[in-house]
């Protein structure tokens, strides 16, 4: 009963977000994000149909649609990256390199591991694969957040809400799927409530942060310094070395 | 079991990171800083450090030798506590000055298209090594006072440098792997 309530509330919230996106013209601003939400709603209805009328096929439908959802999640992360760093060409370039490296390293490891999971029961393999793909998403989002913090890049409430909402869901998925794979069927009863509850929290965050369009603040405090980038980098590096030398000479009178 | 702990740690650490970022606030403005002074420090390399004479006075062992040979232990203890506070304040001032230069660099380059990942990473590693060295010195000062033996300072310096070298080598390895996958590291 409780899980049905969560299911209905979740779908109502997604529908509400989509209706609001159409009325506030947010679909145009964040097309990938709202395409992902549209897919999630359709996926939910498809799963409901198979759960009620074709239960024998439900498990296959669940995992197939789930992996497509995970793949679209990577597109959402890409949209977050482009939206947050649109005005910061330098950091955007750095982020592209960092995210690509993280993506290639982790996803290669994930695929290599999943090929080798021949000793596991067939039902366990997709759960482990989803767990690892979600962990990769967590790493990518963490990299973006670290760059935003390191370069003190301000973001608007829309993008911040997307990051926090999706981040909470991804983190909860990683933890719950890990516990599920460790404890097995004993954890199933907790898992079937935990992940939907986390998604409900995510949707609540999105409803609050995506009510209307709030663009990212424009950079206002950037410094104009003459000299090219290499010159600037050398100056900064020299400054740090100079400070270290000053410290050592002071400490050894 | 190790993988389970690792993955749960990743999930929880990421949640904590999100929480901290949320508390930081949307578009939090930088603390009030003297931007002009920091810009000049970066351009002229005049970092605004406390005068060398002051540092020499703080860390000169002559005062300590005088105090230990002419005063009771109670006075020596008070002297050491007070001198340690001054030394720690001096260290904080040094760290802050360097931090302002780094912040100025970040604000100056974040919109530049020519920003290079490997250069930023090396700068970050250098700064982290500097902060690590200062952290060790701070711990040593709290433990032994400001009149540290040269050997201890040498160990702290060597450790911080080794961490820096290790981190730099790791970035080279990652760079080579990325080159192997994509052809170029910085596009």
Answer yes or no: is pLDDT of A191 > 80.
no
Rounded-to-integer distance, Cα A160 and Cα A53, Å: 40
Specify the pLDDT at position B52: 73
- Lowest mean per-residue pLDDT among A209-213, B130-134, B156-160: B156-160
- Lowest mean per-residue pLDDT among A38-47, A189-198, A218-227, B167-176: A218-227
Q: What is the pLDDT of residues B139-172, one digit of tens each?
A: 888 888 888 776 777 777 777 777 777 777 766 6
Answer yes or no: is pLDDT of A150 > 60.
yes
What chain B residue is nearest to A136 in terms of C-alpha separation?
A: B10
Answer yes or no: is pLDDT of A131 > 70.
yes
Tokens of B88: 């720690």
B77 vs A162, A238, B91, CA distance in Å? 56, 39, 21
What chain A residue is nearest to B140 in terms of C-alpha separation?
A: A251
Give the three-state DSSP class for B69: helix
- Interface mutation vs chain A, best among B16, B24, B27, most A CBs within 10 Å: B27
- The stretch A146-155 carries a mean pLDDT of 91
- The stretch A160-175 carries a mean pLDDT of 94
Specify the pLDDT at position A46: 94
Answer yes or no: is pLDDT of A219 > 90.
no
Specify the pLDDT at position B83: 92
The rounded percent of chain A whose pLDDT value lies above 70 is: 91
> To the nearest whole angstrom, how far is the Cα of A45 from the nearest Cα of chain B?
29
Q: What is the pLDDT of residues B1-32, one digit of tens each?
A: 788 888 889 899 999 999 889 887 644 444 44
Rounded-to-integer distance, Cα A85 and Cα A99, Å: 13
Model-level pTM?
0.81
Angle of CA points B86, B92, B98, to nearest 5°? 140
Q: Is B105's CB within 8 Å of A160's CB?
A: no
Q: Model confidence at B40, in pLDDT bands (50, 70, 90)?
A: low
Q: Is B25 left (phi over 0), alpha (psi -120 to 50) or beta?
A: left
What chain B residue is nearest to A138 in terms of C-alpha separation?
A: B14
Specify the pLDDT at position A75: 92
Q: Model confidence at B187, in pLDDT bands (50, 70, 90)?
A: very low
Q: Model confidence at A217, in pLDDT bands (50, 70, 90)?
A: confident
Query: Which letter does DSSP use for residue B78 in this model?
Result: H
- The stretch A149-158 carries a mean pLDDT of 91
B71 vs A221, more confident: B71
- A125–B contact, CB cutoff 8 A: no
From chain A residues 170-229, the ones with a CB under 8 A of any chain B CB are 170-172, 174-175, 178-179, 181-182, 217, 219, 221-225, 228-229
| Structural domain boundaries in chain B | 29-178
Specify the pLDDT at position A123: 55
Answer yes or no: is pLDDT of A247 > 50.
yes
Rounded-to-integer distance, Cα B128 and Cα B111, Å: 23
Cα A79 from chain centroid? Answer: 10
ipTM: 0.82
Rounded-to-integer distance, Cα A238 and Cα A223, Å: 19
The beta-strand segments (E) located in chain A are none
Rounded-to-integer distance, Cα A166 and Cα A137, Å: 10
Specify the pLDDT at position B27: 47
Specify the pLDDT at position B183: 45
Specify the pLDDT at position B101: 84
């Amino acid at each position: 009963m409780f899980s049905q309530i969560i299911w209905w509330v979740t779908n109502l919230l997604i529908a509400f977000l989509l209706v609001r996106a159409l009325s506030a013209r947010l679909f145009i601003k964040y097309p990938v994000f709202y395409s992902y939400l549209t897919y999630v709603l359709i996926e939910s209805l498809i799963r409901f149909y198979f759960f009620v009328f074709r239960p024998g096929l439900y498990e296959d439908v669940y995992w197939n649609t789930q992996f497509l959802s995970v793949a679209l999640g990577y597109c959402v992360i890409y949209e977050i990256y482009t939206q947050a760093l649109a005005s910061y060409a330098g950091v955007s370039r750095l982020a592209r390199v960092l995210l690509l490296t993280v993506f290639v390293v982790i996803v290669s490891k994930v695929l290599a591991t999943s090929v080798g999971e021949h000793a596991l029961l067939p039902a366990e393999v997709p759960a482990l694969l989803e767990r690892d793909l979600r962990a990769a998403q967590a790493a990518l989002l963490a990299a973006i957040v670290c760059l935003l913090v390191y370069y003190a890049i301000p973001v608007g409430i829309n993008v911040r809400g997307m990051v926090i909402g999706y981040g909470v869901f991804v983190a909860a998925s990683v933890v719950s799927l890990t516990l599920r794979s460790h404890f097995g069927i004993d954890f199933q009863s907790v898992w079937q409530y935990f992940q939907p509850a986390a998604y409900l929290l995510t949707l609540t965050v999105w409803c609050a942060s995506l009510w209307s369009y709030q663009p990212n603040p424009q950079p206002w405090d950037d410094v104009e310094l003459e000299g090219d980038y290499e010159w600037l980098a050398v100056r900064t590096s020299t400054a740090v070395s100079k400070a270290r030398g000053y410290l050592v000479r002071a400490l050894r009178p | 079991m190790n993988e389970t702990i690792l993955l749960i740690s990743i999930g929880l650490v990421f949640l904590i990171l999100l929480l901290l970022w949320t508390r930081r606030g949307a578009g939090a403005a930088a603390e009030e800083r003297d931007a002009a002074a920091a810009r000049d420090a970066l351009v002229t390399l005049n970092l605004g450090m406390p005068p060398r004479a002051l540092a020499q006075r703080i860390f000169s062992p002559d005062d300590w030798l005088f105090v230990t040979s002419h005063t009771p232990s109670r006075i020596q203890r008070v002297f050491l506590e007070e001198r340690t506070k001054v030394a720690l304040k001096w260290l904080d001032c040094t760290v802050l000055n360097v931090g302002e230069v780094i912040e100025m660099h970040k604000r100056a380059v974040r919109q530049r298209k020519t920003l290079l990942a490997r250069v930023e990473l090396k700068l970050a590693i250098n700064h982290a090594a500097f902060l690590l060295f200062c952290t060790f010195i701070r711990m040593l000062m709290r433990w032994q006072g400001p009149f540290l033996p040269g050997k201890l300072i040498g160990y702290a310096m060597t450790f911080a440098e080794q961490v820096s070298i290790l981190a730099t080598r790791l970035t080279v390895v990652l760079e080579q792997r990325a080159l192997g996958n994509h052809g170029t590291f910085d596009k």
